[in-house]
Amino acid sequence: MKLFATSLISAVLALSCVTSFAAGDAKPEPAKAAKPVAYKPDVAKGQASFAVCAACHGVDGNSGTPAYPKLAQQHPEYLVKQLQEYKSGKRANAIMLGLATALSEEDMKNIAFWVTSNKAKLGTATDKEMATLGERIYRGGIQERQIAACAGCHSPNGAGIPAQYPRLAGQHAEYTAAQLTYFRDGVRKNNLQMTQNAAKLNDREIKALADYIAGLR
C-alpha cells in the first residue's frame, strides 16, 4: 500500500510538470540590473558659471589671447578631467587651482558641456617652412628617435578622439608650444604618454608642431 501511494504521488508530480510545459510556462527571467542614470548637464547653469572664465577664454570659449587655450568644440570629458586635476593639484596652475577649487563636479560638467557646444574659430599657420616640418612630425613622427606621430591619438585632422584624446585643431600656437615644453621639462605631469613623447622634442620641433596644429582643420 505504501509503495502504491508513493508511485501515485510521483505520477501526479510528473503529470503536473508535463502540463505546465505544455501550457507554455517558462522559468522567470532574472531581473535585469538597473542602468545607472547618466548625469544630464544643465547648460544654462554652465553658461552662467562660465562668465568668470570668459576673461581669459573668451565669452564663447574662443580665447582671443594666444597664451590661453580655445575651449570651444573641445571634448567635454577632457575639460572635466582637466578641471578635476587642477582642483586636486595633479595639474599645476595657480590661477586654475583657485577657480577649480570652488567648483563642484556638477559645476564642472555644466561648464564643460556648455562651452564645448560652441564652434571653434579656425586658426592659421604663420611660417610655411616650420609648418611643413610640423606636419611631417605630426603625421609620421620621428622614427629614428622613437617619437610617435601625433595623428595616431589626436587624429589626422586634429579632431582628437572623444573622451580619450583632446582636440588640437586650430589651437593657439603659443599655448600648444607652452604645453609641449611643460610636458618635456616635467612641469606638466598629468599625462605620462605626453611627457615621454615631448621629452624627445627640441625647441624647433615644438615650435613647428605648434604652428602646424594652429592651421589644422
Digit-by-digit pLDDT tens for the chain (217 residues) are 333 333 433 433 333 333 333 333 333 444 444 454 577 999 999 999 999 999 999 999 999 999 999 999 999 999 999 999 999 999 999 999 999 999 999 999 999 999 999 999 999 999 999 999 999 999 999 999 999 999 999 999 999 999 899 999 999 999 999 999 999 999 999 999 999 999 999 999 999 999 999 999 9
Alpha-carbon distance of 196 to 147, in angstroms, equals: 9
In a domain, 33, yes or no: no
Report the candidate in 83, 98, 14 with the shortest Cα–Cα distance to residue 46.
83
What does DSSP assign to residue 161? B
**Residue in the block written with cell 604618454:** 193
Work out the burial of residue 19: count CB atoms within 10 Å of its CB; fewer than 13 is exposed, 13-18 middle, 19 or more buried. exposed
Residues 6+ apart with CB under 8 A from 88: none
Please tell me whether residues 178 and 102 are part of one structural domain: no
Domain end residue (candidates: 67, 82, 115): 115
pLDDT for the residue 129: 97
CATH of residue 101's domain is: 1.10.760.10
CA distance 151 to 137: 9
Domain extent, residue 165, equals: 128-214
Total number of domains in the chain = 2
